[in-house]
């Protein structure tokens, strides 16, 4: 057995997820196992399985021409930091309880560093017809290489400043710019904060009047810029529900 692809070391924040990938080749097709050794000096390697750690661990493997295996761990905690080891072997006695395998398991390792997620204080202030969105990250030892502001998957602004504070200014009314905005700290790992511009429900008619011939189909449209979005609409004609 031999590795085609080995897992890569990664840094992640608490509450994030991580995915490690391993690929091995051989004849017969080798089996892949995942093992873990924590950072505690007394801790030894223990095998991981699908559903471990209160079902936060998921392992998917395929054995077709060669072996591939992916381990993913959700909702990371500090205890998930450590060395993850992908092991592969195609020795017939590899899992025998008394016989030693002729060919030892081959191993490939990757470190996962789980860093405590820093808190981000967010704020929206209105001044002179402008909206100022701000994010301020609590003390963090992670070096910051820049910032980015994102809305609806579109990058609005970016810089290469190192500070824990970042802001973005919008010209216009709150009603015209409601929704979720993200402040992104460019670091390893990347850190994201969320700023919500909330607007209470307010209904405006798309057109004040509509004309048509008898027998035509009439379409009446109302819009509402609120955030969060409204979930229920009701229509009335001359005060009566329709």
Q: For residue range 40-82, list pLDDT tens digits in order.
A: 887 788 999 999 999 999 999 999 989 999 999 999 999 999 9
Q: What is the pLDDT along the chain (242 residues), one digit of tens a residue?
A: 789 999 999 999 999 999 999 999 998 899 999 999 998 887 788 999 999 999 999 999 999 989 999 999 999 999 999 999 999 998 887 777 777 666 678 999 999 999 999 999 999 998 888 999 999 999 778 899 999 999 999 999 999 999 999 999 999 888 889 899 999 999 999 999 999 999 888 888 888 888 889 999 989 999 887 888 888 899 998 888 77
In this structure, what token pair is assigned to residue 63?
């054995």
Hey, do 2-115 and 120-197 end up sharing a CATH topology, with the first three levels equal?
yes
Write down the pLDDT at residue 103.
Answer: 66
Listed by start position, the domains of the chain span 2-115, 120-197
Q: Does residue 149 contact residue 182 with C-beta atoms inside 8 Å?
A: yes
CA distance 50 to 60: 8
Which CATH architecture describes the domain 2-115? Sandwich (2.60)
CA distance 36 to 43: 9
Strand order in the sheet with 120-127: 120-127, 130-137, 165-171
CA distance 151 to 154: 5
Write down the pLDDT at residue 102.
Answer: 66
Looking at the domain covering 120-197, what would its CATH class be? mainly beta
């Amino acid at each position: 057995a031999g590795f085609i692809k080995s897992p890569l070391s990664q840094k992640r924040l608490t509450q994030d997820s991580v995915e490690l990938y391993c690929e091995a080749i051989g004849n017969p097709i080798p089996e892949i196992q995942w093992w873990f050794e924590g950072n505690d000096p007394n801790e030894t390697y223990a095998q991981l399985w699908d559903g471990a750690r209160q079902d936060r661990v998921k392992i998917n493997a395929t054995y077709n021409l060669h072996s591939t295996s992916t381990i993913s761990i959700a909702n990371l905690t500090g205890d998930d930091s450590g060395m993850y080891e992908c092991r592969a072997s195609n020795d017939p006695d590899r899992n025998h309880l008394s016989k030693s395998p002729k060919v030892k398991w081959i191993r490939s390792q990757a470190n996962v560093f789980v860093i405590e997620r820093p808190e981000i204080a967010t704020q929206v202030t209105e001044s002179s017809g402008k909206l100022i969105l701000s994010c301020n990250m609590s003390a963090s030892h992670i070096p910051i290489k820049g910032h980015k502001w994102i809305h609806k998957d579109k990058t609005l602004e970016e810089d290469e400043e190192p500070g824990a504070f970042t802001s973005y200014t919008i010209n216009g009314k709150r009603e015209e710019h409601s929704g979720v905005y993200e402040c992104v700290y460019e670091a390893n790992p990347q850190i994201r904060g969320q700023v919500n511009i909330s607007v209470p429900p307010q209904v405006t008619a798309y057109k004040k009047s509509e004309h048509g011939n008898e027998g035509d189909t009439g379409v009446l449209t109302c819009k509402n810029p609120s955030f969060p979005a409204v979930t229920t609409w009701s229509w009335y004609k001359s005060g009566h529900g329709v």
